[in-house]
């Protein structure tokens, strides 16, 4: 059995989780296997095909339409497949493995990740959660076609922020780090240093990767600039103070 640390990256859909996975993957000892960004890219490489199986297994694990048998098989398979991947010679120096899954992932609302599964299956895991202004997260997902209309996307975002908050509240405080997307954009170096320390990765490598991404605050108000005044007003009204209290714990622990 290979020792390694699993880094699980999550957040409401549209919150910058792919960006974080890309920056984490800049470290040479990191391999990213699930989510939109994967560091294995050679279609004929057996390790790449195995990484795709890991990706599919997380889909089966968190398919809300799946039956008990599918769920049980996925829970059993995921740790085994990860260990198989780490046996390949090209991963001899791998110490960290990234699984990135937004909440929800894929289009619609069928696939709902559960952080408790990660903690149960990988006790040495570290969980990184990005919290973004729900109006911006909703628009980011909506403009990429993840929901049929803006109202549906807002409802999905609201439900999953509530769920993420409840999941975090049930975990040991030392097992996760939550931070705000907007703070990251404004103070990229400081937040990235905290991420590197929490994940146990080389700080300068992640700082250099962050610099290459040119993080800035220009996207914070993109939703308001690109939506019609009526749709922007809807998001302001929908995500009012009373509704955002539903994920108050997530807000309170996000740096």
Q: What average pLDDT does the structure give for the chain?
A: 93
The CA-based angle 177-58-181, given to 5 degrees, is: 30
In angstroms, the CA 16 to CA 136 distance is 11
pLDDT digits (tens, 9 = 90+) for 81-130: 999 999 988 888 999 999 999 988 887 788 999 999 999 999 999 999 99
SS3 of 71, please? helix
For 25, 31, 48, 65, 217, the CA distances from 41, given in Å and listed in that order, are: 13, 11, 6, 30, 31
In angstroms, the CA 187 to CA 185 distance is 6
Is pLDDT at 37 greater than 90 in this prediction?
no
Q: What is the pLDDT of residue 95?
A: 96
pLDDT digits (tens, 9 = 90+) for 157-178: 999 999 999 999 999 999 999 9
HSE at residue 151, side-chain half, CA atoms within 13 A, is 2
Closest CA to 152 of 102, 103, 109: 109
Residue 218: pLDDT band (50, 70, 90) is confident
Residue 60: pLDDT band (50, 70, 90) is very high
Is pLDDT at 35 greater than 80 in this prediction?
no
Q: What is the pLDDT of residue 219?
A: 83
pTM score of the predicted model: 0.94
């Amino acid at each position: 059995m290979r020792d390694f640390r699993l880094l699980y990256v999550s957040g409401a859909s549209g919150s910058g989780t792919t960006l974080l996975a890309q920056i984490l993957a800049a470290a040479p000892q990191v391999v990213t296997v699930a989510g939109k960004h994967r560091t294995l890219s050679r279609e004929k490489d057996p390790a790449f095909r195995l990484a795709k199986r890991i990706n599919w297994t997380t889909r089966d694990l968190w398919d809300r339409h799946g039956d008990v048998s599918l769920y049980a098989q996925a829970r059993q398979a995921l740790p085994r497949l990860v260990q198989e991947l780490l046996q390949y010679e090209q991963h001899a120096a791998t110490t960290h493995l990234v699984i990135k899954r937004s909440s929800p992932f894929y289009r619609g609302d069928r696939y709902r990740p559960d952080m408790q599964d990660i903690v149960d299956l990988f006790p040495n895991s570290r969980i990184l959660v990005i919290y973004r202004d729900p109006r911006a997260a909703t628009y980011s997902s909506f403009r990429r076609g993840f929901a049929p209309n803006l109202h549906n996307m807002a409802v999905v975002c609201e439900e999953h922020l509530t769920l993420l908050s409840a999941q975090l509240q049930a975990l040991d405080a030392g097992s996760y780090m939550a931070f705000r997307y907007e703070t990251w954009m404004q103070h990229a170096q400081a937040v990235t240093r905290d991420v590197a320390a929490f994940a146990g990765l080389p700080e300068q490598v992640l700082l250099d990767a962050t610099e290459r991404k040119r993080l800035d605050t220009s996207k914070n108000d993109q939703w308001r600039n690109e939506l019609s005044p009526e749709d922007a007003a809807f998001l302001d009204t929908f995500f009012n103070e009373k509704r955002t209290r539903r994920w108050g714990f997530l807000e309170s622990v996000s740096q």
